[in-house]
Amino acid sequence: MIRFLLVTFLLLGLVSSSLPVQATPATPPAPLNGQWKGPLKLLGGEISIVITIVPLTNGTYYAALDAPQQRISRMPVDVELKDDNLTLRIEQAGSSFVGKVQDEGATLSGTWKQPGVTAPMVLRRAAASTQAVTKFKATPPYRQTDVSFTNPVTKNRLGGTLTVPAGEGPFAAVVLLSDSGPQSRDVEVTGYRMFGQLADYLTRHGVAVLRFDDRGVGKSNGTYANATTADLVTDAQAALAYLRTRPLVSAHRVGLLGHGEGANVALLAAAAPSRAPAFVVSLAGYGQTGYDVLLRQQGEIMRLIGADPAQVKAAQEVYQRTVSVIRQTSDNATARTKVAGLLAGANMGLDASMARARAVQLTTPWSRYFFDFDPQAQLSKVQCSVLLLNGTADLQVSARRNMTPLYKALRHANRTATSYKLDGVNHLFQAAPAQWPMVNGVQQATFSPEALKLVHSWIAMETQPPGGPQPVTVKRPGPTRKVNRTPSTNRTRS
């Protein structure tokens, strides 16, 4: 669920995240913080959208858009705020919202624009979700502690939550690594606590879990915006080292579980020459180059929101030209001048100031790194077993285009790999909404039960102490179940 900052055509993301935009010095009495919901009228009907805005510790904002009816989640949103004037730009969809913050932040009123649509819109602050209000209301049947640890490379202090099963231990353990964009330790999206639910399930089933706030979020310091995927590997390694020191954790049975970009961080950590994790679980990790991922996402999202083929083609051509300029121009000042001119003259609805801001974002260390990031380059060096999971309803990370290449590359390098496709599961690993449970009369999003079982069963098998009892494993699904093996799922060991 996404740091990908592109302009209308430059989708850097939903796999991804958007880089936060510095708010203008004059700000409202209190920063925007929460979720706003409202209807978007389109040809043939309307859909509901949800905008989540979170203030970061350095004074910037992180924001994301969700459209549950279209199964869009965590689409990056750039925030610009001056007094009560608010601009939200959703570059992946070529869309924007320009309006006013009213009623002390309770209402966002303005105009929504996207290809072929210009319409008034009112977004109203949403009440806290039932899930958010009731989380851990009852004492969980395990130990839960707020912890902090230091990344020795950056000196950043990272804050998180450690959950340890009841009993004497020592227990197998796992560090959770979030997708692109600055996330809190629970990775909460519209009341759905992706990592909170995952940590709760695994800990109840005998696995200790460490989840932590990303740089610049919550109890973690540092600046997220300029960190590349490779930089985040040092955070993962620091978390691994800390978890191995805990008295109830079995130090040689500690692994990494990553989502989206976090999965690629985990695989890079597993390929590093220093102490590798005991195992890696990849939830929707990227298997294509960053350039190809962003190009495909751009087309998919634009088609979804109603752009015609000519608009998609034009946007992708601008994307290709922009990336080419950035690759050929190493000096940032020169590259930004060239990119701003290209964007302003591309008839994409950007004025000069917006084009300059975009050019700055597209030349950050993260953007430059990700354009050329090849997730398969280091797979031959991976030193542990890998579980690959993807959902067939994932619009951000196609299983065929991403999980399958990762699996084949690991197998080709004689590495241990297991892969599963989960029917109807989206990028946030939610099953189809029709399968969500009812809570107080309202359906609430939950982590796919089949995915939870697969992850736990596989970790239990990988970390089983020699001579111990055999773990309970998930049976191969029958034809009516919602989990299907990929064509090449036979588990092989090197």
> Rounded distance, CA 488 to CA 56, Å?
43
User: Among candidates 86, 95, 72, which has minimal Cα distance to 14?
Assistant: 72
Structure tokens at 324: 């080419």
d(CA 340, CA 175): 40
The tokens of 286 are what? 């990227």
Identify the pLDDT of residue 356: 83
Q: CB under 8 Å to 455, separation ≥6 — which residues?
A: 198, 202, 257, 281, 387, 389
Helix (H, G, I), strand (E, B) or coil at 348: coil
The reply to whether domains 34-128 and 132-288+373-485 share a CATH topology is: no
DSSP assignment of 130-143: HHHHHTT-SPPSEE
Domain boundaries defined on the chain: 34-128, 132-288+373-485
Phi, psi of 398 (to 5 degrees): -65, 130
Is the dihedral angle over the CA atoms 401, 402, 403, 405 positive or is it negative?
positive
Q: Which residue has the tokens 């599961």?
A: 425
Cβ neighbourhood burial of 388 (10 Å; 0-12, 13-18, 19+): buried
Its pTM surpasses 0.95: no
CATH code at 132-288+373-485: 3.40.50.1820
CA of 142: how far to CAs of 193, 210, 408, 411, in Å? 18, 13, 38, 37
Q: Kind and range of the H or E element at 420?
A: strand 417-422
Which pLDDT value is given to residue 206? 95
Task: For 479, list phi and psi in degrees, rounded to 5.
Answer: -65, -20
Contact 37, 24 (CB under 8 A): no
Report pLDDT for 312: 83
Amino acid 268: pLDDT: 97
Which three-class secondary structure string do you get for 326-338?
HHHCCCHHHHHHH
In this structure, are residues 125 and 34 in contact, taking their beta carbons and an 8 Å threshold? yes
Q: How would you write the pLDDT of the chain (494 residues) with one tens digit per residue?
A: 444 333 333 433 333 333 344 444 444 446 788 888 888 776 556 778 888 887 776 677 878 787 766 656 667 788 888 888 898 887 766 778 899 999 888 899 998 887 667 888 899 988 754 444 334 345 789 999 999 999 999 999 999 999 999 999 899 999 999 998 888 999 987 778 999 999 999 999 999 999 999 999 999 999 888 899 999 999 999 999 999 999 999 999 999 999 999 999 999 999 998 889 999 999 999 999 999 988 887 777 777 666 778 888 888 898 899 999 999 999 999 999 999 999 888 766 667 777 888 888 889 888 899 999 999 999 999 999 999 999 999 888 989 999 999 999 999 999 999 999 999 999 999 988 878 887 777 778 899 999 999 999 999 999 987 665 544 444 433 333 334 444 444 333 33
Tokens of 250: 């079995």
- 490: buried, middle or exposed (CB in 10 Å: 19+, 13-18, 0-12)? exposed
Whole-number pLDDT of residue 348: 66
34-128: CATH, from 1.10.1370.30, 2.40.128.20, 1.10.3720.10, 3.30.360.10 = 2.40.128.20
Choose among 261, 259, 263: nearest CA to 277.
263
Token digits for 397? Answer: 């990370």
